[in-house]
Amino acid sequence: MAQEVTVVAKEKAESRAVGLRFAKIDAFAKVTAESEYGPDIELPGMLVGKILRSPFPHAKILRIDTSKAKSLPGVRAVLTGDDIPVKYTFNYAERQTGTKIVEEGKSEESALRGLMPPPRADKYPLARGKVLFVGDEMAAVAAIDEDTALRALSLIEVEYEPLPALFDPEDALKPGAPLIHEDFKDNMAAHLKGDWGDVEKAFKESDQIFEDSFSTQHQHQACLETHGCVCKWDVDGSLTMWSGVQTPHTIRLEFSKVLGIPESKIRLVSKWVGGAFGSKNELEPFMIICAQLAKTARAPVSLILTREEEFAASGCRHPYKVTVRTGLKKTGEIQAREVKFVVDKGAYMAQGAAVAFFAICYPSASLYKPKAVRFDAKIVYTNKQPPSAYRGFGNPQATFAIESQMDMIAERLGLDPVKFRILNANRPGDITAHGFRMPKSTGLIECIERATKAINWYEKKANRVPNRGLGLACLIHSTGERGAYGDIEGSSCTLKVNDDGSATLFVGTQDLGTGAWTVLAQICSEELGVRFEDIKVIGGDSDLPAFDLGAYASRSTFTGGNAVRIAAVKMKEQIFSLASELLGVPESELDIKNSEVFSKNKPGVKTSLYNVAKYAYYGAGKPKNLITTGIFDTPSTLMDPETGMWKEPGPSIAYTFACHAVEVEVNPETGKVKVLEIAAAHDVGKVINPTTAEGQIEGAALHGLGYAISEDLRIDRGVTVVKDFRDYFIPRASDMPKIDVIFVEMNDPNGPFGAKGIAEPALVPVAPAVANAVYDATRARVRNLPLTAEKVLGEMMRTKK
């Protein structure tokens, strides 16, 4: 299924690790069900926690009576809003943590000053005064078993006064609309607005200007493991939480503010994660509730969301209304671009502004090269469940609009959509309107060429089959993102060579099932020269001697991998120093491969790493330390708050590029879209492990296919009507089209062995590529995701009229 451009055979013979198809290091534990996920934790005396949720989209709470619930035998704690009277920012409270804030005791102006709103607290863990969406957390209980907990929930009496509710962000913006949060006077959670470059001039210099509008739906992460946690307080007042999350260190940072205890008094254990995709990025209300239940009940509490709660009150992707206005020269060069977003934020802010800003910075301003960019993003409260971070982080919504419009423009101007994109593609060294420098590893054009070649683009175009069509779409995505949490984009690790010459790697990097730890072990093996199978990775615990901002923004391989590489380089110095004593040759003459240290000059002068380790631990006669640390912070930059622009290189120093070319067949009777083939060409830099990289791309492409044609978390007048997987249509294995994974290995000079990010990208270009292919097959341009049979057929009928 996959095509590779990497040549690894030679290296394999030398047992080097990068580029080889090792099985994931957690494969055995997972297939034998030895991997213990959050809900599998059993602690003595552990209680079951349950949450009572609002049945109204918007209502005043007139009265809560928990007395009956409290007196039910077996109930150990009942909480309402007044028990946790901490209003918090739900998610990105600490995003702007710089020392200056702390020093001066006031909120520092944002690194995105003038653009990003300061974080404002808008959420109580349990509602106080009002409920704002169907599913809003109202009360909670901890009891000796699930039945008792559910019975206790049913005994909590709440008297509501329903209030007029808002379900459409444009309704919410109308003057006189009811207010969802009284302190947000126009229901506007945030408004990002600005120009990069001389937008007026750029539009004036355009020969043609096109404006088109698009919209996208709620999509849900639909992780196999629902959200949940186990909380236990220790006698010293510290909290341990077991929960599968993406960001143990930053969740703990936010948690400490809410709980009012130091960060280090919270230990977050997250060894196994049953899917995340952005939904396990942040401190969630259920975590705070569970911690408080455990504190009140003086016992460990397990709180696991049901599938119904998971769909109705956790995660999901922000729906966008997008208007793109593009000015071009007759010959096709893009001059100016304006994007307008209206974002359905639901009841609470979470990362709404950050997600919108990413959509502005990347697809809108960086995928091609407009000379000037204007943006206007309204993030609007509604009485619906609040969307979260989600694989792609705003990129899928905007790329759907932009890449759909690119095809529409190409047709209007009579341009070949492939050549039109190549014409406007960024090249190495280009600087965007907002100051991002395109690195040496910029391979977008190569991706376009490779994807269209793989799918036989021109041949198929020349030999058209009825009801079939071809489409393509491109992508740019960051590899990490400076500014998410203060002025850092870093990761650290500790490396130990054990007394048997094996290595243990303590990492801050999370592995969400992506293979991140496998890749880190390969990087360690490659750099250190230790056999891959002799490396043990220990991670997923905030108490380890390691730190990482989290597994988001496709950053783990790049940032964590560089940290590992640095630790390995330092370790080699130690090893060579010891081996030099043992072998009697200078350190400079030594190399290590396959756990054997040898002289590069004198054949046969060698010793095993086992011997070196034994010497260090038991024989050297003086201190020899086989523990090293590695820390890496990308040399990226924050936006200059004065200009709103970046100085080189920008918030990410490496970018992943991709082009997907797809072929679809549309049933002319029903409008049903069948994707026949996806040629996915990805410039991900050096591929550390082709198998896991293919897995990421294939999985993400299928994930994107769901976004394109079937997934829709329908919310009807505030009620999430999707309750389980019978209602929510993620693609199944049988829906899998042929996927050609094509690696364009534009090795990045800053990446570990040239690697760049890989996790999110392949989801993004699928929907516009499919929409473009459907148009190619049918002349029906669907501007609203997903491309259900009904919508495609409707558009086909409208077009035929």
Which CB, 282 or 309, lies closer to a second copy? 282
Backbone angles phi, psi at 38, to 5 degrees: -45, -55
Phi, then psi, of 607 in degrees rounded to 5:
-150, 155
Q: What angle do CA 711, 353, 242 make, to 5 degrees?
A: 70
| Cβ proximity to a second copy, 456 vs 607, nearer residue | 607
For the CB of residue 641, give the shortest distance to a second copy in the complex, in Å: 14
Cα angle 78-83-84, degrees, rounded to a multiple of 5: 120
- Give the nearest distance from C-beta 421 to a second copy in angstroms: 36
Least gap, CB of 776 to a second copy (angstroms) = 48
Ranges of beta strands (E only) in 54-162 are: 59-65, 75-80, 130-131, 137-143, 157-162
Beta bridge partners of 379: 190, 343
Q: What is the token pair recorded at 414?
A: 């009579």
Q: Which residues contact 84 (CB under 8 A, 6 or more apart)?
A: 124, 125, 126, 288, 289, 292
> 58 in helix, strand or coil?
coil
Tokens at 478, concatenated: 């960051």
Helix H or strand E segment including 457: helix 457-462
Q: Which is nearer to a second copy, 34 or 573 (CB)?
A: 34
CB-nearer residue toward a second copy: 266 or 347:
266
Q: Which CB, 431 or 582, lies closer to a second copy? A: 582
Beta-carbon contacts of residue 584 (< 8 Å; ≥ 6 apart): none
Q: Do residues 729 and 539 touch, judged by C-beta distance below 8 A?
A: no
Question: 677 has which bridge partners?
Answer: 663, 738
Q: How far is the CB of 440 from a second copy (least distance, A)?
A: 22
CA-angle at 114, arms to 109 and 118, nearest 5°? 50
Query: In terms of CB distance, is 101 or 736 closer to a second copy?
Result: 101
Closest distance to a second copy from the beta carbon of 611 (Å): 5
Cα–Cα distance for residue pair 248/268, rounded to 1 Å: 6
Task: Report the candidate in 311, 145, 294 with the shortest Cα–Cα distance to residue 721.
Answer: 311
Burial of 323 (0-12, 13-18, 19+ CB in 10 A): middle
Interaction site with a second copy (CB under 8 A) = 28-29, 32, 34, 42, 44, 94, 97-100, 102-103, 234-236, 249, 253, 256, 262-264, 485-488, 490, 492, 494, 496, 498-500, 502, 504, 506, 534, 536, 538, 543, 545-547, 582, 607, 610-612, 614-615, 617-625, 627-629, 631-633, 635
Nearer to a second copy (CB atom), residue 52 or residue 613: 613
Whole-angstrom distance, CA of residue 622 vs CA of residue 616? 8
- We find the least distance from the C-beta atom of residue 602 to a second copy, in angstroms, to be 17
Q: How far is the CB of 498 from a second copy (least distance, A)?
A: 4
Q: Minimum CB separation from a second copy for residue 146, in Å?
A: 19
Cβ neighbour number for residue 622 with a 10 Å cutoff? 5
Identity of the residue, 336 or 563, whose beta carbon is nearer to a second copy in the bound complex? 563
Which are the contacts of 55, defined by CB distance < 8 A and separation ≥ 6? Answer: 134, 160
User: How many C-beta atoms surround the C-beta of residue 46 within 10 A?
Assistant: 18
Say how far apart CA 490 and CA 629 lie, in whole Å. 13
**Which residues are paired to 496 by β-bridges?**
504, 627
Amino acid of residue 176? G
- Select 58 or 555, whichever has its Cβ closest to a second copy: 555
Structure tokens at 621: 């006669």
The Cα 17–Cα 11 span in angstroms is: 8
Task: Compute the least distance from the CB of residue 506 to a second copy, in Å.
Answer: 6
Least distance from a second copy to the Cβ atom of residue 775, Å: 46
Q: Which amino acid is at 185?
A: K
The 3-state DSSP class for residue 615 equals: helix
Cβ at position 585, least distance to a second copy in Å: 15
Query: Which of residues 488 and 730 has its CB atom nearest to a second copy in the complex?
Result: 488
- State the nearest-atom distance from the C-beta of 608 to a second copy, in Å: 8
Nearer to a second copy, 15 or 629 (CB): 629
In the complex with a second copy, the residue whose CB is nearer, 409 or 493, is 493
User: Toward a second copy, which CB reaches closer, 148 or 559?
Assistant: 559
Least distance from a second copy to the Cβ atom of residue 398, Å? 28
